[in-house]
Amino acid sequence: MAGSPESKLQLVQRHIRAFPDFPKKGILFRDICPLLKDPAALTAVIDLFEEQVRKNYQQVDLIVGLDARGFLFGPLLAQRLGIGFVLVRKKGKLPGTTVSVAYELEYGKAEAEIQEDAVSPGQKVLLIDDLLATGGTLFAACELMKKRKAEVLGCMVVIELKELNGVEKIKPHSLFSLLQY
């Protein structure tokens, strides 16, 4: 897609909707559905992620996408880069032998898992999701990679909710976010 990074980012931003009081009062929900519906806006997201990876990470073995919206962006980016894509799922959703990590959510506990043979020791990975809020899920994915002895090069999201300070939870890993609110 032609255009400057700034124009691509503006296109992406125009395709994010805000819904006040969803899913409960006091929450301003950032909706990516219009972004997915528009081919040019979705291409802009993948272009911007690809530019970031090619500029900053010369050696990447895998893109690791978080359940479920990381599955929307991760395979497209992995395909562009000519590398593999790995799923991090909620507990009980993957067949075969898995490795899991329990983590805290704002409202309770959860578990994330990968297939045992999905990531090999020493592989260099980038994690991707749609949004970083409090950082619990992305932190769990980083812990899964650590369990598999993979090297986390960084984390990438479309949207970062700055006031929730999730970036602190994933340290020492770096975060690249297209949009910050």
* Structural domains in the chain plus CATH codes: 5-180 (3.40.50.2020)
Residues near 90 by Cβ (< 8 Å), separated by ≥ 6? 67, 110, 111, 112, 113
Catalytic residues: 69, 106
pTM higher than 0.85: yes
Per-residue pLDDT of 90-132, as tens digits, reads: 999 999 999 999 998 767 899 999 999 999 999 999 999 999 9
